[in-house]
């Protein structure tokens, strides 16, 4: 039975705390009490609390009470006191002690914990004020110094703001004591909502007061990634890079489905629920540059953010999605949807991630998770390349030691055939060193994991298995922030995932039956930056919004636009067609003239093209290609706004092009930007005249702005539309205003001009420009017509058909 809230005699509290302190052996020698900690669990009767949090708090109490702290635990919810107390008592029934604790001790500690745990209704501002008053009264009566308060938000995010406001206005501890608020995901739905939520919380709490939980960071195998990398630096230093790593798989498979929580799941889906947080966190721990001090929260965060910066943007083709067959039916039932309702929410996803930095360039990172799969298991597997050739036949290979056997390192998060967290290192890699809290393990005989018998690995498991939430509660108590998600970390992750989520919003997931029956249906492959299912979809099972796409929709359409050839297709097909055409033009030019002069525009449309050229065009004659800029913003070349920077990030750093063939526009001379006196435009024009025969580029790639601008030639501005100048300084209506651009006459000297137009936003201008004549002053794009070259329009269906 739980005690009534705070109507005790003050002396009783004192006696209780002293009695409990004495109950701990360690406490006999304990220094004087280090202070009192109040822990307020909001949502104390909810699922998470029942399953993990009360047990975690009990463990915290067992671990810390003997070390000189005193505690009070306040279970809180909206429910009225009597009913709430009953529910909480139920939640507390199944507390368990560590295996090695004697039953009598266990019962004693449990009893003490229950006495310190009280239910209270927290609904109104007055309830919070009363809580504060009670805590203060307790402290006064017992004469204890307050160490701090922990508020654990185990509540849905819509309740955050109210609770946060109340805590901030009436439940902050006095001077010298800390406040820690613990938040559970979801932290937003996309970049925008996450930022909004973060800003909102930021008005109530300091960053250092907030502990955003990703419970995967509390999983023992995940928490071991950085310490393992640190402790085995010597062995891993030479191996942890693109030269040795074949690929990295970060996987979380589940057998359960979403039944009973479709209300939540329908809004989030597997990418938001698991990939954006748990798997991304694991990815950063595997991929980050190892800080000197792996326990410095600040250094870990900095290195994590560097990984986010190096992540290559995801395309629609970077992911495949699926949905277990009974999901829509569960949604209809649980959310009272009509019979005609079909959900597009993915319950399975696999995503191919690339990290564009020196260490990981070219190494595929595969993130995959799903519900209703054949097994429950989680791991991060680093598979190494096998560069050895064994001369003797296989029968002479030393068991487990041969360099020709697979070489892998696995952080086994849990479950699966192994049934526990583990770290596995192929014996032919190196003998790892682990802390004493990990021991060598043996599995059931005959067990095979990741293609090898368990005996082929050095295998370690934790001496004592601990639940993630209990690990994290201990870190919160000790103020260790490196196990939590900071605002910057959170927003960087959403920044990465949001574009993919948007591009998949209307994609029909592949249906799968669930469990073992999935067979090979979800198997997938990857190449050239794309993922695809290995097997064809048997049939279109989920009707998407609008008619199901037909195979003919994906064929490239050829027509005319403004009397020039038009190539139109869905964006991916279009980009691939354009990239092929550019390569063919390049190969022809190099064959005939020994070199290929290509002038490229900046902006967002060509990014996918650059990536395609960078990753899928091995026959491209880069060594003989000269790259020029069509236009540039007057910012330093290292500025993210710079067109050159985009080119550098998405193309140049991935291809082998001689430095002397790269020709950025000279917008930054004498430490100033686009000053007329510096004559940057003239310098560029002279460079073109000197290197490009007749100043006639082999290919100029242009875009078309929603206002009809092209290059940096803008409507209502005569600069660069005619005359002798090859390169001009212009003014854009949007920031940064100052630009440098090839002039229209120079563009029209090109042998070929390709205009790439993509996205719905271009629909209107596409229609308009199709009807206008030669009016470059109003629509500079209408002045593009090479004198003796060819003009080809490349438009995706969104831009062309709307
Ligand atoms: C949660 C997700 O974060 O993680 C659930 O919301 C998922 O959908 C769960 O089932 C898996 O966690 P664990 O600890 O069981 O691997």
In this structure, the answer to whether residues 500 and 639 fall within a common structural domain is: no
- Ligand 1 atom 15: the closest Cα is on which residue? 254
In this structure, the answer to whether residues 578 and 476 fall within a common structural domain is: no
Q: CA-to-CA distance for 563 and 686, rounded, in angstroms?
A: 33
Give the orientation angle of helix 487-504 with respect to helix 280-287, to 10 degrees: 120
In this structure, the answer to whether residues 253 and 331 fall within a common structural domain is: yes
| Ligand 1 atom showing the smallest separation from residue 378 Cα | 16
- Within a domain: residue 749? yes
- Ligand 1 atom 2: the closest Cα is on which residue? 273
| Ligand 1 atom showing the smallest separation from residue 264 Cα | 6
Question: Which 3 state secondary structure label does DSSP give 127?
Answer: helix
- Within a domain: residue 526? no
- Ligand 1 atom 6: the closest Cα is on which residue? 273
User: For position 7, what pLDDT does the model report?
Assistant: 40
In this structure, the answer to whether residues 231 and 307 fall within a common structural domain is: yes
pLDDT digits (tens, 9 = 90+) for 420-471: 999 999 999 999 999 999 999 988 889 999 999 999 999 999 999 999 999 9
User: For position 555, what pLDDT does the model report?
Assistant: 55
Give the orientation angle of helix 54-64 with respect to helix 103-116, to 10 degrees: 110
Quick check: 250 and 367 in contact, CB under 8 A? yes
Q: Determine how many CB atoms are found less than 10 A away from the CB of residue 139.
A: 20
| Ligand 1 atom showing the smallest separation from residue 278 Cα | 3
- Within a domain: residue 168? yes
Question: Which 3 state secondary structure label does DSSP give 741?
Answer: strand
Q: CATH code at 63?
A: 3.40.50.720
Quick check: 781 and 709 in contact, CB under 8 A? yes
Q: Ligand 1 mean position to 219 CA, how many Å? A: 12
| Ligand 1 atom showing the smallest separation from residue 256 Cα | 10
Question: HSE of 728 in the Cβ direction (CA atoms, 13 Å)?
Answer: 23
- Within a domain: residue 512? no
Question: Tokens 């290292």 correspond to what residue?
Answer: 638
Give the orientation angle of helix 103-116 with respect to helix 10-23, to 10 degrees: 150
Q: CATH code at 786?
A: 3.40.50.1360
Q: What is the mean pLDDT of the chain?
A: 91
| Ligand 1 atom showing the smallest separation from residue 219 Cα | 14
In this structure, the answer to whether residues 120 and 265 fall within a common structural domain is: no
* Beta-sheet pairing, 348-353 with 365-370: antiparallel
Last residue within a domain, chosen from 184, 203, 232: 184
User: For position 68, what pLDDT does the model report?
Assistant: 84
10-residue mean pLDDT profile of the chain (802 residues): values are: 38 47 40 79 94 96 89 96 94 89 92 95 96 95 94 94 96 95 95 96 96 97 98 96 97 97 95 98 98 94 96 93 97 96 97 95 96 98 93 85 93 95 97 97 91 95 95 96 95 97 94 95 90 78 42 61 93 94 97 97 92 90 97 95 94 94 97 96 98 98 97 94 97 94 98 96 95 96 96 94 74
In this structure, the answer to whether residues 748 and 626 fall within a common structural domain is: yes
In this structure, the answer to whether residues 167 and 281 fall within a common structural domain is: no
- Within a domain: residue 9? no
Last residue within a domain, chosen from 161, 184, 207: 184
User: For position 559, what pLDDT does the model report?
Assistant: 86
Work out how many domains the chain is built from and give that number.
3
Q: Determine how many CB atoms are found less than 10 A away from the CB of residue 333.
A: 12
Q: CA-to-CA distance for 781 and 784, rounded, in angstroms?
A: 6
Point out which residues pair with 212 in neighbouring strands.
Answer: 183
The ligand 1 site (C-beta within 6 Å) comprises: 254, 273-274, 378
Question: HSE of 95 in the Cβ direction (CA atoms, 13 Å)?
Answer: 30
Cα dihedral: 43, 44, 48, 51 (round 10): -170
Report the residue among 52, 218, 273, 379 best suited for mutation to probe ligand 1: largest number of ligand atoms under 8 A from its CB.
273
Name the residue among 752, 754, 689, 691 with its Cα closest to residue 724.
689
Q: Ligand 1 mean position to 250 CA, how many Å? A: 15
- Ligand 1 atom 9: the closest Cα is on which residue? 274
Question: What domain range includes position 695?
Answer: 560-801
Q: Ligand 1 mean position to 372 CA, how many Å? A: 13
For 505-554, give the DSSP string.
TTPPPEEE--GGGGTTTT-EEEETTEEEESSPPSS--S--SSSPPPGGGG
- Ligand 1 atom 5: the closest Cα is on which residue? 273
Q: Ligand 1 mean position to 492 CA, how many Å? A: 22
| Ligand 1 atom showing the smallest separation from residue 273 Cα | 6
Q: Which residues are catalytic?
A: 278
- Within a domain: residue 554? no
In this structure, the answer to whether residues 485 and 613 fall within a common structural domain is: no
Quick check: 493 and 486 in contact, CB under 8 A? no
Residue 565 sits at φ, ψ, to 5 deg, of -60, 140
Non-local CB neighbours of 490 within 8 Å, separated by 6+ positions:
187, 188, 194, 198, 212
In this structure, the answer to whether residues 312 and 457 fall within a common structural domain is: yes
- Ligand 1 atom 4: the closest Cα is on which residue? 274
Q: CA-to-CA distance for 337 and 394, rounded, in angstroms?
A: 60
SS3 letters across 365-401: EEEEEECCCCCCEEEEEEEECCCCCCCCCHHHCCCCC
In this structure, the answer to whether residues 144 and 231 fall within a common structural domain is: no
- Within a domain: residue 654? yes
User: For position 395, what pLDDT does the model report?
Assistant: 86
- Ligand 1 atom 8: the closest Cα is on which residue? 273
| Ligand 1 atom showing the smallest separation from residue 216 Cα | 14
- Ligand 1 atom 10: the closest Cα is on which residue? 254
Q: Ligand 1 mean position to 334 CA, how many Å? A: 20
In this structure, the answer to whether residues 254 and 341 fall within a common structural domain is: yes
Q: Ligand 1 mean position to 695 CA, how many Å? A: 61
Q: CA-to-CA distance for 636 and 667, rounded, in angstroms?
A: 7
Name the residue among 749, 754, 732 with its Cα closest to residue 741.
732
| Ligand 1 atom showing the smallest separation from residue 268 Cα | 6
Q: Ligand 1 mean position to 356 CA, how many Å? A: 29
Q: Ligand 1 mean position to 302 CA, how many Å? A: 27
Q: CA-to-CA distance for 374 and 717, rounded, in angstroms?
A: 63
Report the residue among 265, 274, 485 best suited for mutation to probe ligand 1: largest number of ligand atoms under 8 A from its CB.
274
Q: Ligand 1 mean position to 1 CA, how many Å? A: 32
- Within a domain: residue 762? yes
User: For position 33, what pLDDT does the model report?
Assistant: 53
Q: Ligand 1 mean position to 414 CA, how many Å? A: 12
User: For position 8, what pLDDT does the model report?
Assistant: 39
Q: CATH code at 288?
A: 3.30.360.10
DSSP code, position 43: T
Name the residue among 733, 761, 528, 742 with its Cα closest to residue 631.
742
Last residue within a domain, chosen from 143, 162, 184: 184
In this structure, the answer to whether residues 242 and 323 fall within a common structural domain is: yes
Report the residue among 275, 278, 376, 415 best suited for mutation to probe ligand 1: largest number of ligand atoms under 8 A from its CB.
278
Report the residue among 215, 256, 485 best suited for mutation to probe ligand 1: largest number of ligand atoms under 8 A from its CB.
215
């Amino acid at each position: 039975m739980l005690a009534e809230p705070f109507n005790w005699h003050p002396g009783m509290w004192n006696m209780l705390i002293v009695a409990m302190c004495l109950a701990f052996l360690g406490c006999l020698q304990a220094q004087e009490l280090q202070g009192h900690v109040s822990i307020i669990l909001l949502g104390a009767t909810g699922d998470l609390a029942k399953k993990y949090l009360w047990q975690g708090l009990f463990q915290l109490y067992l671990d810390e009470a003997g070390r000189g702290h005193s505690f009070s635990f306040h279970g809180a919810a909206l429910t009225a006191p009597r009913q709430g107390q009953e529910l909480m008592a139920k939640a507390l029934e199944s507390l368990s002690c560590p295996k090695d604790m004697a039953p009598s001790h266990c019962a004693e500690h449990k009893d003490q914990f229950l006495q310190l745990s009280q239910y209270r209704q927290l609904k109104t501002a007055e309830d919070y004020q009363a809580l504060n008053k009670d805590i203060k009264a307790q402290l006064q009566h017992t004469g204890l110094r307050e160490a701090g308060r922990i508020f654990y938000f185990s509540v849905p995010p819509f309740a955050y703001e109210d609770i946060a406001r109340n805590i901030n206005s009436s439940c902050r501890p006095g001077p010298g004591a800390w406040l820690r608020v613990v938040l559970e995901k979801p932290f937003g739905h996309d970049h925008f909502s996450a930022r909004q939520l973060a800003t909102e919380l930021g008005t109530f709490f300091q960053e250092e007061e907030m502990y955003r939980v990703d419970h995967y960071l509390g999983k023992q195998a995940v928490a071991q990634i950085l310490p393992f990398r640190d402790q085995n630096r010597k062995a891993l230093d030479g191996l942890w890079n693109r030269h040795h790593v074949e690929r990295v798989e970060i996987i979380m498979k589940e057998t359960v489905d979403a039944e009973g929580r479709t209300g939540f799941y329908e809004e989030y889906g597997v990418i938001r629920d698991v990939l954006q947080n748990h798997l991304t966190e694991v990815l950063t721990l595997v991929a980050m540059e190892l800080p000197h001090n792996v326990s410095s929260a600040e250094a870990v965060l900095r290195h994590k953010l560097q990984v986010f910066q190096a992540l290559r943007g995801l395309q629609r083709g970077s992911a495949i999605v699926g949905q277990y067959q009974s999901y829509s039916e569960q949604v209809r039932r649980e959310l009272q949807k009509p019979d005609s309702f079909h959900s597009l929410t993915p319950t399975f996803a696999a995503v191919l991630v690339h990290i564009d930095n020196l260490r990981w360039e070219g190494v595929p990172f595969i993130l995959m998770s799903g519900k209703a799969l054949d097994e429950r298991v989680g791991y991060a597997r680093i598979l190494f390349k096998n560069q050895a050739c064994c001369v003797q036949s296989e029968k002479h290979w030393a068991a487990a030691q041969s360099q020709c056997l697979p070489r892998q390192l696995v952080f086994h998060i849990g479950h699966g055939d192994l049934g526990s967290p583990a770290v596995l290192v192929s014996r032919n890699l190196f003998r790892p060193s682990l802390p004493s809290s990990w021991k060598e393990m043996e599995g059931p005989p005959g067990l095979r994991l990741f293609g090898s018998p368990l005996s082929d690995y050095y295998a370690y498991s934790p001496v004592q298995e601990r639940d993630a939430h209990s690990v994290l509660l201990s870190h919160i108590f000790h103020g260790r922030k490196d196990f939590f998600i900071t605002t910057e970390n959170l927003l960087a992750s959403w920044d990465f995932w949001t574009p993919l989520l948007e591009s998949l919003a209307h994609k029909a997931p592949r249906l799968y039956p669930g469990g073992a029956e999935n067979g090979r249906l979800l198997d997938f492959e990857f190449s050239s930056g794309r993922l695809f299912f290995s097997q064809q979809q048997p049939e279109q099972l989920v009707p998407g919004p609008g008619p199901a796409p037909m195979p003919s929709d994906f064929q490239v359409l050829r027509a005319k636009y403004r009397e020039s050839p038009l190539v139109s297709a869905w964006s991916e097909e279009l980009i691939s067609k354009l990239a092929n055409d550019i390569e063919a033009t390049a190969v022809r030019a190099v064959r005939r003239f020994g070199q290929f002069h290509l002038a490229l525009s900046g902006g967002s449309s060509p990014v996918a093209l650059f990536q395609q050229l960078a990753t899928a065009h091995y026959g491209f004659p880069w060594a003989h290609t000269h790259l020029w800029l069509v236009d540039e913003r007057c910012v330093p070349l290292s500025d993210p706004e710079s067109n050159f920077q985009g080119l550098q990030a998405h193309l140049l750093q991935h291809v082998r092009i001689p430095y002397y063939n790269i020709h950025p526009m000279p917008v930054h001379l004498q430490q100033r930007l686009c000053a007329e006196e510096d004559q940057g435009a003239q310098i560029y024009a002279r460079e073109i005249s000197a290197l490009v025969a007749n100043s006639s580029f082999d290919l100029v790639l242009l875009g078309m702005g929603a206002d009809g601008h092209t290059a940096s030639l803008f409507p209502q501005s005569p600069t660069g539309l005619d005359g002798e100048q090859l390169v001009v300084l212009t003014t854009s209506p949007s920031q940064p205003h100052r630009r440098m651009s090839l002039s229209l006459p120079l563009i029209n000297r090109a042998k070929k001009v390709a205009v790439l137009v993509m996205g719905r936003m271009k629909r209107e201008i596409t229609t308009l420009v199709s009807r206008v004549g030669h009016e470059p002053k109003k629509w500079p794009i209408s002045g593009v017509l090479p004198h003796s070259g060819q003009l080809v329009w490349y438009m995706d269906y969104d831009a062309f058909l709307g």
